[in-house]
């Protein structure tokens, strides 16, 4: 099974994708990953987005760029990206929330059209976290990602959490299929040495 995690968009007929994680995972014998996807929503995606809004981007490591003076002059006081609350609400529910789960795929996020522009940045600000001051029209907007906007590896705590969930659900499915699965402590008692992060990365990436 291939585990791919990223985001995609479809705006006025133009489509694009950005891949955050890709690696081979487990086996095709486990065909129903719905429980794992639901747990990833509840334990990873929703908490991450909530933390991004609460910390103004610092959860991922880089604070969102300050608003331009022209933007501050025409908006009500308040946190960045929460002028009306529409964008933030779209990640939790309602008509503009996206949540589709099947056996092998998960789609989750926001259908608010301008979410894409904040996630990626626009113009000279595309893919850049800091605002670039330029003269004239088309200056662009810096990137203020609500979801992961950089590639994750197994050293990242959010990636480690997704890996933990997938391994737990894989173990559960294997037991349900009649296989004997040792717990981590049982593996240690059996003399197995836990792999290092580098060994895991080499094995799955």
SS3 track for the chain: CEEEEEEEEEECCEEEEEEEEEEECCCCCCCCCHHHHHHHHHHHHHHHHHHHHHHCCHHHCCCCCCCCHHHHHHCCCCCCCCCCCHHHHCCCCCCCEEEEECCCCEEEEECCCCHHHHHHCEECCCCCCCCCCCCCCCCEECCCCCCCCCCCCCCCHHHHHHHHHHHHHHHHHHHHCCCCCCCHHHHHHCCCCCCCHHHHHHHHC
**Residue 23 bridge partners (DSSP):** 3
Q: Alpha-carbon distance 203 to 24, whole Å?
A: 9
pLDDT at 187: 58
Is the distance from CB of 61 to CB of 82 less than 8 angstroms? Answer: no
Q: Alpha-carbon distance 99 to 86, whole Å?
A: 17
| 165 falls within a domain | no
pLDDT at residue 168 is higher than 50: yes
68 C-beta neighbours (distance < 10 Å), count: 13
| Closest by CA position to 44, among listed 106, 112, 128 | 106
Number of domains in the chain: 1
Q: Which of the residue ranges 13-17, 45-49, 61-65 would you say has the lowest mean pLDDT? A: 13-17
Q: Which domain holds residue 28?
A: 2-152
| 200 falls within a domain | no
Q: What is the average pLDDT across 149-166? A: 82
| 196 falls within a domain | no
| 162 falls within a domain | no
User: 92-126 pLDDT, tens per residue?
Assistant: 988 999 999 998 888 999 999 999 999 988 888 88
| Model confidence, pTM | 0.75
| 49 falls within a domain | yes
Q: Alpha-carbon distance 123 to 26, whole Å?
A: 40
pLDDT at 96: 96
| 44 falls within a domain | yes
- Token pair, residue 141, equals 């907007």
Band of residue 169 on the pLDDT scale cut at 50, 70, 90: confident
| 181 falls within a domain | no
Is the distance from CB of 1 to CB of 28 less than 8 angstroms? Answer: yes
Total length of the chain:
205
39 C-beta neighbours (distance < 10 Å), count: 18
| 39 falls within a domain | yes
């Amino acid at each position: 099974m291939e585990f791919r995690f990223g985001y995609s968009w479809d705006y006025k007929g133009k489509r694009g994708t950005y891949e955050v994680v890709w690696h081979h995972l487990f086996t095709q014998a486990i065909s129903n990953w719905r429980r794992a996807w639901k747990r990833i929503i509840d334990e990873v995606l929703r908490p991450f987005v909530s933390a991004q809004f609460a910390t103004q981007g610092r959860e991922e490591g880089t604070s969102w760029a300050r608003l331009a003076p022209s933007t501050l002059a025409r908006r009500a006081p308040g946190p960045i990206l929460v002028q009306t609350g529409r964008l933030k609400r779209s990640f939790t529910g309602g008509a503009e929330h996206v949540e589709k789960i099947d056996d092998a795929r998960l789609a989750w996020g926001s259908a608010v059209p301008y979410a894409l522009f904040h996630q990626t940045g626009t113009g000279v600000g595309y893919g850049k976290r800091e605002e670039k001051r330029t003269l004239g029209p088309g200056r662009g907007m810096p990137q203020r990602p609500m979801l992961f906007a950089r590639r994750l590896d197994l050293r990242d705590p959010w990636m480690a959490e997704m890996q933990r969930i997938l391994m737990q659900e894989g173990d559960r499915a294997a037991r349900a299929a009649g296989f004997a699965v040792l717990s981590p402590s049982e593996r240690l008692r059996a003399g197995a040495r836990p792999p290092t992060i580098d060994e895991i990365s080499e094995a799955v990436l």
